[in-house]
A and B are shown apart, each in its own frame.
Chain A
Amino acid sequence: MQVDLSTIATLTDVSKSLGSTPVLDRFSLAIRAGEVTALLGPNGAGKTTTVGLLTGRLQPDAGTARLFGLDPTRPAARMRMGVMLQTAGLPDVLSVTEVVTLQSGYYADPRPVAETLAIASLTDLAQRRCGALSGGQARRVQYALAICGRPALLVLDEPTAAMDRASRQALWATVRAAADDGTAVLLTSHDLEEADALADRVLVMNHGRIVADDSPANLRARAGGSVIRCRTALAPAMLQALPAVRAAGNEGGDQRIVTADAVATVRALCAADPSLSQLRIADAALEDAIATLLAPADQRNAA
């Protein structure tokens, strides 16, 4: 794997409001070559705006955005970037081959169309019109459009939404292969399993700020605790007040409690709620680490 930590895309002191709502305020971010960076966070955290600024769809109100050293709103800056957007559509009346051929023509050194179709598992669908594709197939076409120009930066916005498990695994394998060839990847996702499987670096955003920037392994270690699931009559606010609890919330009919010290929490929990049932304890996952990171910020915000 090519290890080149030079910066290929940056936001520097960027502020951006959508309408009258400030989304980003003096926000900075650097995407480095040879890394898979996952951008995580709840809806409204500013992920989509960040991607919009880096891909040239949005212009910052203040500060600078740079893509390969150029303003991303300039077409030339986007020559070495491939983008797969969640909300982008396809022209219904053109075939898969026609759409991929057209897009390939936008780039200076595109892959052969047949190769692009093969990578995205579209060879059998080459002659089908885009209007006749299933949701998962259309996502694969979007992926093909993102990689057809041999990008040095691949931006994937919720790439596996609407995909079945097998397609998801196949896409992860091709993204990993691209990353191993030295392509930088910026990934936004709601699926933490996806971030854990692909990312070298996880950026957690909340309220327009980065609240964590670390490897998935380090983030898990930072959570460093356990997850308790149980049925209890106690309200989430009371659960959060128990010893060592980092975050608590509903999950199905259960309460889900992230704790730094399972023994201390369970002891207090049993004492506080005699009707406690279905108690289970597991190691914290990346999801729990992120819930922990987000919880204090949300509480501060509510206060």
Chain B
Amino acid sequence: MIATLPAGIWRREAAAELKRSWRLPQFLLPTVLTPAAFYALFTLAINQSPSPAAAAASLAGYGVFAAIGPALFGFGAGVAMEREQGLIELKRVSPLPAGAFVAAKLVAAVAAVAAAVGLIYCVAILAGVRLSVGQWLVLALLHFAATLPFGLIGLGIGMRMSGKGAVAVANALFLGSAMVGGLWIPSTMLPAWMRAVGEFAPSYHLGQVARGIVGADTIGSLPLHGAIVVAMTMAAAVWAWTGWRRNPA
């Protein structure tokens, strides 16, 4: 007779993952603080009191940037290092479902994203950005949701690469996707080739939807950007799943 899986197995795994992240602040702190620091520096300090509308448009992109860091590093580099330490092997021979493992990582990543995004929102409010409650909620939802595609991309990297390799790739994707996605400098001001590359990055399409939410100018149809994000997320899920399946540890 085979017993069913115990209740609460998903919740307890997530709680343990949050505890681990909390006790490893040196790992997450840079990815939590960097986006707010960049936002304060490049949008507010250099421009010297930009209009609230410009600060809001910039906030839309920097919020996506804030979600990419914890997602790529927590999943990509984190998973690769855990694999090297034999931690994933331990989970894989236990009755813990793979879904509970991934969900726990996602919860920890979203918690870090909430901290990073919350920090940026505080800076934005101090700089005079005013949005309706509905706009704040939808914007926050989008910024949290941005964790998913980048988390799945990270998981696929983490299951395929060494710890050092994954850190390097996560760094390159973190900065690269922010650049070509128009999260720092609006896409309309980017060179044509960068915009062309950006079309292939979820960051660009997420950034456009975010700009739409705060009422900034956008390129192209927002529903189409949304559909492309969904399609890219599904492709990332396949990439993550095949990485999980093909790697014995």
A residues sitting closer than 8 Å to B (CB atoms) are 18, 52, 55-59, 68-70, 75-81, 83, 85, 87-91, 93-94, 98, 102-103, 105-109, 145, 149, 155
Contact B2 A94 (CB under 8 A): no
Chain A residue numbers with a CB within 8 Å of B96 are 75, 106
Chain B residue numbers with a CB within 8 Å of A109 are 3
Q: Report the contact-size class of chain B (Cβ under 8 Å from the partner).
A: 20 to 34
Interface residue? B95 (CB, 8 A): yes
Contact A108 B4 (CB under 8 A): yes
**In the bound complex, what is the Cα–Cα distance between A83 and B89 (angstroms)?**
10
Chain B residue numbers with a CB within 8 Å of A79 are 2-3, 5, 95
Main secondary structure of the interface of A (DSSP, over half): loop
Contact A57 B93 (CB under 8 A): yes
User: A57, A75, A106, A155: which contacts B89 (Cβ < 8 A)?
Assistant: A57
**In the bound complex, what is the Cα–Cα distance between A80 and B85 (angstroms)?**
25
Contact B19 A106 (CB under 8 A): no
Contact A70 B89 (CB under 8 A): no
**In the bound complex, what is the Cα–Cα distance between A98 and B23 (angstroms)?**
13
Closest to B98 in A: A75
Contact A75 B5 (CB under 8 A): yes
**In the bound complex, what is the Cα–Cα distance between A77 and B93 (angstroms)?**
10
Taking the nearest CB of chain A, how far is it from the CB of B57, in angstroms? 40
Contact A102 B93 (CB under 8 A): no
Closest to A76 in B: B2
Q: Which of B5, B6, B82 has the most CB of A within 10 A?
A: B6
Known: A18-B248, A55-B93, A102-B16. 19 other contacts (CB 8 A): A52-B248, A57-B92, A69-B2, A75-B98, A76-B2, A76-B3, A79-B2, A79-B95, A85-B86, A87-B89, A87-B249, A88-B90, A89-B85, A89-B89, A98-B16, A102-B13, A105-B6, A106-B94, A145-B90
**In the bound complex, what is the Cα–Cα distance between A80 and B2 (angstroms)?**
8
Contact B6 A94 (CB under 8 A): no
Chain A residue numbers with a CB within 8 Å of B95 are 75-76, 78-79, 106-107, 149
Taking the nearest CB of chain A, how far is it from the CB of B121, in angstroms? 29
Taking the nearest CB of chain B, how far is it from the CB of A153, in angstroms? 11
Closest to A142 in B: B90
Contact B2 A77 (CB under 8 A): yes
**In the bound complex, what is the Cα–Cα distance between A218 and B13 (angstroms)?**
47
Q: Evaluate whether A57 and B249 lie within 8 angstroms (CB atoms) in the complex, with A89-B86, A106-B95 already known.
A: yes
Taking the nearest CB of chain B, how far is it from the CB of A122, in angstroms? 16
Taking the nearest CB of chain B, how far is it from the CB of A87, in angstroms? 5
Chain B residue numbers with a CB within 8 Å of A80 are 2-3
Interface residue? B24 (CB, 8 A): yes
Interface residue? B20 (CB, 8 A): yes
Interface residue? B87 (CB, 8 A): yes
